[in-house]
Chains A and B, each alone.
Chain A
Amino acid sequence: MKAVIERALDTASAGGAAYADARIVQKTSEFLMVKDGQVAAVNLSSDYGLGVRALVNGSWGFASASRVNTESADEVAGRALRIARASARVQEKPVVLAAQDPSVGEYTTPYETDPFDVSTEDKLGLLLRVNDLLRREKGVKVAECAMEIYKTEKAFGSTEGSYVTQTIVESGAGMESTATSDDDIQKRSFPNSFGRQVVTGGYEEIEKLELESNAPRIASESAALLSAAECPATTTTVILDATQVALQVHESCGHPTELDRALGYEASFAGTSFLTPDMLGAFRYGSDAVNIVADATTPLGAGTFGYDDEGVPAQRNYLVKDGIFVGYLTSRETASELDQRSSGAMRAESWNHIPLIRMTNINLMPGETSSEDLIASTDDGIYMELNKSWSIDDLRLNFQFGTEIAWQIEGGRLTNMYKNPTYTGITPQFWQSCDAVANNWRMWGTPNCGKGEPVQGMHVGHGAAAARFRDVRVGVRG
């Protein structure tokens, strides 16, 4: 791999690139799904290719191909050079990269059991057992269980002398139980939405998910939701479970702190950000209880790595400290606009995509109260659990999220179950209304974060715990 990367970099330099980098990525994944007692899918995927990014006359060009050899290195680098020159025809200002020491090294996800060493039989066996437990509940119409494992091996080199190799291993699994009536559909998922919980780590992390012990409860709740009352339309105290807090952090802190969004790079597609650079260090984003870090070193995080896709070492930086907005997720290009060094957040989905500023692990730091005490100390409110729908405006201000299930809180106890719960708010007001974060903190994986054109899907992590918010509008319905 190194010879191909060096050849691509030499070709780019000889062709006039002031800077170039090259990545070779080999991705292997296995997806298994059991539905209603039958094996619905077993798919083993392999993807391999080369991408070259070249900076010529202050403009970027990127080219990629699924052929990886010295001949393709020349062709891909040549194409990147041509595209960069085409870009320079419409240049606002030349790209300047923040200084960065060359990185040389390697990184491998810590894990105990390589998930690819576990037999398909064993994996299906677990999913079939969980599926059977879901289907024992009478009201369950559709029972789905899925597992997905990944191994990403990549090599990165740059004309500045960086050369790093990494092997990232991810494991994830989950279940969904769907109950239906003539005019309603209700779903419960576990441990997370989006079909599964994903972390960096080995098969041991799937075994820790306790899928079998939770299946009967999940099945029972999905059936019970059909006859539950609608979430009332009111303004009240809301406690979000850790998974929904993870989603809230993702949408209302992770995305708006991406500096490319704040600088307008995504304005025509994903949108911009209400967190403009003039607010850095002064704007009250949340209450004193709100502390949020971007940490690419968090164990198990789906956004944990050794180096980003510009070769910048993984870092931990505050985005929000004691409620004040203090930091962005940055690249070398965008960091230079603020006279900063890169925060190491450039990530590409694979060899065929450019790196973009992406979340790593965006973690809400835990408080000291247990989640049980959080509920016990709430006289009146609603407890909402697990994301079902999400929508937020292009500045990341006005959001409306729905969860799978909710319960009334009365006198510190969970009472009536509600279906179709939703809540809505404006990001800084909402986080300023946060008066407590619990201590049931763990890493949650979001495997479906989309950004860029062509759209890139990214796995990102969120450390989160249950949290309480005051005066929240709930129960918005169409």
Chain B
Amino acid sequence: MTVLSETDAHQIARRALDFAGEADEAEVVVSSADTGLTRFANNGIHQNVSEDSVHVNLRLALGKRVGVADGNQVDSDSLRGLAERAASIARLQPENPDFAGLPSGGERRTAGGLCQSTLEFSPEDRADGAAKVVNAAQARGLTAFGAFSTGVRSVAVASTAGIEQYHQGTTANANAVLMNDDASGTAMALSSDVTEIDMESIGEAAADKAERGVSPEDIEPGTYEVVLEEAAVAQMVEFLAFESFNGLFHEEGRSFTSASMGKAVMGENISIWDDGVDPTGIASPFDGEGVARERVDFIENGVLKAVVYDHQTASKYGAENTGHAWTAPNPYGPVAANLFMAPGEAASVDDLVAGVERGVWVTTFHYTNLLEPMRVVLTGMTRHGTFMIENGKVTKPLRNLRFTQSVLDAFSAVEALTRDTKLTGDYLRVRAPAMLIREFQFTGGSQS
């Protein structure tokens, strides 16, 4: 697997900036990716894909008029065309008095995250990994489903304001769902280093859960204690990142943070932050404008401390840019993408279970969506392993349940967290512990 080197990426960026010479300011983001993904279902590989691509995003400003054009061809004619299109767009629009110019060159930020083992991982290796999960399923009379992906991505940012950044990193991601007639179990792993992903263990863990889930029963909807595994916690943190920790939403009064800065909004055992260079995440050392990502502590011991900003939002509202911009044109504000939640002291999920008098153990959530932004009320379903806990022991498997719950209320009622954390995430990267919450609202059931 290969992507654009730093030299090649910046050479493309410089050519694009040259073509944008008439602009007062210009910025180029050159990204490339070489990725492969193997999916399996019903004990066989049914989809197996690879993509080799380049992308160039050019933003230029004529005074306070801004145009953005992007494309995926890097020959001179195409780059010249991008610059012409961006300029023509800018010329034809009224000035935006809020446009703050481009961020100027700051710290050159680098991070690790490039693993040779992942670079060298082949389609045959991914197939062999899938085979380990299938074998684990077949040995126990189950059926295997899942995906195993590996890839390398590069991104370079350069601008007439002195920005020059480059990062290259690998990602390996695997998940398995093992099923029998009426139950399923899942396990997953995410890392920049594919050697840290043990497909055999993933298969066995998913199989264990599927076997424990046979003959699930219903329970009445209501308020229960709940043990959430790491992936379920991560989903709730993702919604906070999208809906609440966005500096633009904060400034516009569209987030609970607007009226709560400096106040206790969660339990004292909750701390959440973003860190683009922490090696235990997937590194992303600078943002879509080439600004170094600063560590931002959103929640410290339950107290709301900060939100993230990009250059435009920070300039407009007099805040400090934390380096969390999307790539231009970026009208939706900044976002934190490398999130962490502080661990607790519980030795394992089993320890959390032991502390529950009457509650529900949730493996993952499915199809979660936002109902009310101010209280961060979410609804979704449990999936791939839901169990009843009584007097500290798992007593029976349950059919999937619908929850409707405020994240703020949930994170204010956390009794304990595990000391180990796990990296997961549907759209963002979140390293989180599992947790025990004293009150959690289940509002319906399902036949699955």
Interfacial residues, chain A to chain B (CB-CB below 8 A): 31, 33, 35, 38-49, 59-66, 79, 82-84, 86-93, 119-121, 124, 128, 141-142, 144, 178, 180, 182-185, 263-269, 271, 274, 352-354, 388-395, 397-398, 400, 402, 420, 422, 424, 426, 452-454, 476-478
Q: With A90-B45, A398-B444 as given contacts, are A393 and B402 in contact (CB-CB < 8 Å)?
A: yes
Complex interface: chain A residues within 8 A of B446 (CB): 393, 395, 397-398
Complex interface: chain A residues within 8 A of B52 (CB): 63-66
Number of A-B residue pairs, CB cutoff 8 Å, is 276
Query: In the assembly, what is the distance between CA of A48 and CA of B71, in Å?
Result: 8
What residue in chain A is nearest B373 (Cβ atoms)?
A185
- Does B43 interact with chain A (Cβ within 8 Å)? yes
Contact A35 B47 (CB under 8 A): no
Contact B43 A453 (CB under 8 A): no
Digitize B348-380: 1 where CB-to-A-CB distance is under 8 Å, 0 elsewhere. 000000000000000000111111111101111
Contact B381 A424 (CB under 8 A): no
What residue in chain A is nearest B330 (Cβ atoms)?
A41
Contact B41 A83 (CB under 8 A): no
Stretch at the interface among B15-23, B100-108, B251-259, B428-436: B251-259
Contact A180 B50 (CB under 8 A): no
Most buried by A among B48, B82, B149: B48
Tell me, rounded to whole Å, the shortest Cβ–Cβ distance linking A417 to chain B: 17
Contact A86 B381 (CB under 8 A): no
Q: With A62-B47, A86-B126, A178-B254 as given contacts, are A453 and B37 in contact (CB-CB < 8 Å)?
A: yes
Contact B51 A352 (CB under 8 A): yes
Contact B404 A476 (CB under 8 A): yes
Complex interface: chain B residues within 8 A of A267 (CB): 41, 145, 177, 179, 184
Q: List 24 A-B contacts (CB under 8 A).
A: A44-B86, A46-B73, A48-B72, A60-B47, A63-B50, A64-B51, A66-B53, A84-B48, A86-B38, A87-B38, A87-B127, A89-B128, A178-B254, A180-B253, A182-B259, A185-B254, A264-B42, A267-B41, A393-B446, A397-B448, A453-B147, A454-B35, A454-B51, A478-B441
**Contact partner, A46, options B54, B70, B89, B130, Cβ 8 Å:** B70
Nearest first, the 9 closest Cβ-Cβ pairs linking A and B are: A92-B44, A41-B329, A268-B145, A86-B123, A40-B331, A478-B377, A268-B177, A398-B446, A46-B71
Most buried by A among B67, B70, B448: B448
Contact B404 A400 (CB under 8 A): yes
Complex interface: chain B residues within 8 A of A454 (CB): 35, 37, 49, 51, 149
Contact B89 A44 (CB under 8 A): yes
Complex interface: chain A residues within 8 A of B370 (CB): 389
**Contact partner, A42, options B42, B43, B53, B89, Cβ 8 Å:** B89
Query: In the assembly, what is the distance between CA of A66 and CA of B93, in Å?
Result: 31
Contact B145 A264 (CB under 8 A): yes
Contact A124 B94 (CB under 8 A): yes
- Does B413 interact with chain A (Cβ within 8 Å)? no
Tell me, rounded to whole Å, the shortest Cβ–Cβ distance linking B77 to chain A: 12
- Does B40 interact with chain A (Cβ within 8 Å)? yes
Complex interface: chain A residues within 8 A of B177 (CB): 267-268
Query: In the assembly, what is the distance between CA of A39 and CA of B443, in Å?
Result: 43
Interface size classification for chain B: 35 or more
Tell me, rounded to whole Å, the shortest Cβ–Cβ distance linking B134 to chain A: 6
- Known pairs A42-B68, A86-B38. 5 more at Cβ < 8 A? A49-B53, A90-B127, A267-B41, A268-B175, A391-B367
Query: In the assembly, what is the distance between CA of A185 and CA of B252, in Å?
Result: 11
Digitize B172-183: 1 where CB-to-A-CB distance is under 8 Å, 0 elsewhere. 000111010000
Contact A420 B49 (CB under 8 A): no
Complex interface: chain B residues within 8 A of A453 (CB): 37, 39, 47, 147, 149
**Contact partner, A62, options B48, B259, B331, B448, Cβ 8 Å:** B48
Q: With A90-B131, A91-B44 as given contacts, are A400 and B447 in contact (CB-CB < 8 Å)?
A: no
Complex interface: chain A residues within 8 A of B37 (CB): 453-454
- Does B159 interact with chain A (Cβ within 8 Å)? no
Query: In the assembly, what is the distance between CA of A128 and CA of B95, in Å?
Result: 12
Contact A265 B41 (CB under 8 A): yes
Tell me, rounded to whole Å, the shortest Cβ–Cβ distance linking A230 to chain B: 10
Contact B72 A66 (CB under 8 A): yes
Interfacial residues, chain B to chain A (CB-CB below 8 A): 35-54, 65-73, 82, 85-86, 88-90, 92-94, 96-98, 122-124, 126-128, 130-131, 134, 143, 145-147, 149, 175-177, 179, 184, 186, 252-254, 259, 328-331, 366-375, 377-381, 383, 400, 402, 404-406, 409, 441, 443-448
Most buried by A among B49, B122, B130, B446: B49
Query: In the assembly, what is the distance between CA of A269 and CA of B90, in Å?
Result: 41
Most buried by A among B184, B370, B372: B372
Query: In the assembly, what is the distance between CA of A82 and CA of B50, in Å?
Result: 11
Complex interface: chain B residues within 8 A of A393 (CB): 366-367, 381, 383, 400, 402, 446, 448
Complex interface: chain A residues within 8 A of B82 (CB): 46
Contact B176 A268 (CB under 8 A): yes
Contact A38 B98 (CB under 8 A): yes
Contact A183 B259 (CB under 8 A): yes
What residue in chain A is nearest B50 (Cβ atoms)?
A63
Contact A89 B253 (CB under 8 A): no
What residue in chain A is nearest B446 (Cβ atoms)?
A398
Contact B93 A121 (CB under 8 A): yes
Q: With A267-B41, A274-B447 as given contacts, are A39 and B93 in contact (CB-CB < 8 Å)?
A: yes
Tell me, rounded to whole Å, the shortest Cβ–Cβ distance linking B157 to chain A: 17
**Contact partner, B50, options A79, A88, A271, Cβ 8 Å:** A79
Complex interface: chain A residues within 8 A of B67 (CB): 42, 44
Query: In the assembly, what is the distance between CA of A420 and CA of B370, in Å?
Result: 11
Complex interface: chain A residues within 8 A of B71 (CB): 45-48
Complex interface: chain A residues within 8 A of B366 (CB): 271, 393-394
Contact A93 B44 (CB under 8 A): yes
What residue in chain A is nearest B68 (Cβ atoms)?
A43
Contact A63 B131 (CB under 8 A): no
Query: In the assembly, what is the distance between CA of A180 and CA of B126, in Å?
Result: 49
Complex interface: chain B residues within 8 A of A388 (CB): 371
Contact A398 B369 (CB under 8 A): no
Contact B93 A42 (CB under 8 A): yes
Contact A90 B130 (CB under 8 A): yes
Query: In the assembly, what is the distance between CA of A278 and CA of B73, in Å?
Result: 49
**Contact partner, B73, options A66, A86, A89, A120, Cβ 8 Å:** A66
Contact B41 A61 (CB under 8 A): no
Complex interface: chain B residues within 8 A of A265 (CB): 41-42, 46-47
Query: In the assembly, what is the distance between CA of A134 and CA of B254, in Å?
Result: 17
Contact B445 A398 (CB under 8 A): yes
Query: In the assembly, what is the distance between CA of A13 and CA of B254, in Å?
Result: 56
What residue in chain A is nearest B133 (Cβ atoms)?
A90
Query: In the assembly, what is the distance between CA of A443 and CA of B402, in Å?
Result: 31
Tell me, rounded to whole Å, the shortest Cβ–Cβ distance linking A130 to chain B: 15
Complex interface: chain A residues within 8 A of B70 (CB): 43-46
Most buried by B among A47, A185, A420, A478: A478
Query: In the assembly, what is the distance between CA of A65 and CA of B36, in Å?
Result: 12
Query: In the assembly, what is the distance between CA of A420 and CA of B377, in Å?
Result: 11
Tell me, rounded to whole Å, the shortest Cβ–Cβ distance linking A107 to chain B: 25
**Contact partner, A64, options B41, B50, B66, B85, Cβ 8 Å:** B50
Query: In the assembly, what is the distance between CA of A269 and CA of B366, in Å?
Result: 9
